[in-house]
Amino acid sequence: MKRSLTIALFALALPLAAQEQKPVAVVNGETITAEKLDQLYNHLSAPMRSRYEMAGGKGAFLENYLRKRLLVQEAIKSGFDKNPDVQVEVEAAKEGALFDRYVRDVVAASVITEAEMKKYYDEHPADFATPERVHARHIVVMGNGAGPNPKSDEDALAKVKAIAEELHKKFAEVKASDPAVASHIRLSYFGEAARKYSEDATSQAGGDLGWVVHGQLDPDFEGAAFKLDPGFPSGIVKTRFGYHLIMVEGKEAAGTEPFEKAKPAVREWLMTQHAEDVMQVMTKLTNDLRGSSKITLYPENIK
């Protein structure tokens, strides 16, 4: 019985493990998993992540990261990583990150407590208000001689109608009984079509515009996007940029950012407000450590 239960639990764990290791890209044999992408994206500062979400979300971040990895691979291939100056900088960056995180998460914990963070959060609700937003994708075909493939407005409309018809046929073939699975399949078809047909910078990211709030995009585009249910496409939407097909990947009502999600930003803010207190705690700790440690100095070797 115990062995059967162990096997059953292992079997249940397999889909999660497979999902965590799902690749999002392979760069010259180096696999970048969805889990690693999430870790890198979540590690971004709040302002940087906000900028990415307005420019294509994780898809846009991945494109930039791929370019970074290509240069890093080239540097390693040429042996540049063995350069003594580079190794010194790498070690210094590693030491600096460890020092900064330890001060922030451990040393400062006696000054910036969980209770103080929660108190600040509760007393400043406006700081953590979140507007209604949608995670949108689109396909745009430009007319009036604009865009990478200049064409008339009539030809642009004809082309977007053909794309819409192609997607309609593909969507009709989706027979998944689970709505979430069906939505995921439709989104994948939409992303493929965006990469193939869309005429703006988001095409390579599957038309991903990331999370957007009211006032960020063209009013006609927003008017359609915010009315869509996730996983279902719009009709043809005309804006000053051209003809669009829109699909919403996710939707969030206006609300308040949860405390656990807001906590890193609250901690950073309180760190700036209590910098002197944190410095005093850190100075006391380093004095205590210096007094209890065995240290031998060789001043004659300092040049």
pLDDT tens across 249-289, in order? 999 999 999 999 899 889 989 999 999 999 999 999 999 99
d(CA 242, CA 181) in angstroms, rounded, equals 31
Q: Residue 71 pLDDT more than 50? A: yes
d(CA 132, CA 57) in angstroms, rounded, equals 17
Confidence of residue 14 (pLDDT cuts 50, 70, 90): very low
Number of neighbours of residue 289 by Cβ within 10 angstroms: 10
Question: pTM for the full model?
Answer: 0.61
For all residues of the chain together, what is the average pLDDT?
A: 88
Confidence of residue 18 (pLDDT cuts 50, 70, 90): very low
Confidence of residue 5 (pLDDT cuts 50, 70, 90): very low
More confident position, 42 or 256: 256
Confidence of residue 47 (pLDDT cuts 50, 70, 90): confident
CATH code, residues 19-82:
1.10.8
DSSP state of 233: B
Domain residue spans of the chain: 19-82, 89-130+256-286, 132-253
**Where does residue 157 rank: exposed (0-12), middle (13-18), buried (19+ CB within 10 A)?**
middle
Q: Residue 13 pLDDT more than 70? A: no
Largest CA distance in the chain: 83
Q: Residue 211 pLDDT more than 90? A: no
Phi and psi based region of residue 96 (left: phi greater than 0; alpha: psi -120 to 50; beta: remaining) = alpha
Helix (H) or strand (E) holding 253: none
d(CA 55, CA 188) in angstroms, rounded, equals 19
> With contact defined as beta carbons under 8 Å apart, do 156 and 243 qualify?
yes
Distances (CA, A) of 252 to 67, 122, 142: 31, 22, 30
More confident position, 11 or 73: 73
> With contact defined as beta carbons under 8 Å apart, do 263 and 241 qualify?
no
pLDDT of the residue at 204: 86
Percent of the chain with pLDDT over 70: 93
Q: Residue 100 pLDDT more than 60? A: yes
Among 3.30.1490.100, 3.10.50.40, 3.40.50.170, 3.30.420.480, name the CATH number for the domain at 132-253: 3.10.50.40
More confident position, 210 or 114: 114
Q: For 115-144, how does the pLDDT look when each residue is reduced to its tens digit (9 = 90+)? A: 999 999 999 999 999 999 999 999 999 999
Q: What is the mean pLDDT of residues 210-238?
A: 93
Q: Residue 19 pLDDT more than 50? A: no
- Matching CATH topology for 19-82 and 132-253? no
pLDDT of the residue at 201: 86
pLDDT of the residue at 59: 83
d(CA 182, CA 233) in angstroms, rounded, equals 13
Tokens linked to 137 = 């994708």
Q: Residue 65 pLDDT more than 60? A: yes
pLDDT of the residue at 260: 93
Q: What is the mean pLDDT of residues 97-115?
A: 93
Distances (CA, A) of 231 to 136, 159, 196, 209: 10, 23, 20, 15
pLDDT of the residue at 15: 43
Q: Which long-range contacts (CB under 8 A, 24 or more apart) does 195-201 make?
A: 197/139, 197/141, 197/159, 197/163, 198/138, 198/139, 198/140, 198/141, 199/140, 199/141, 199/142, 199/147, 199/148, 199/149, 199/242, 200/140, 200/142, 200/147, 200/241, 201/56
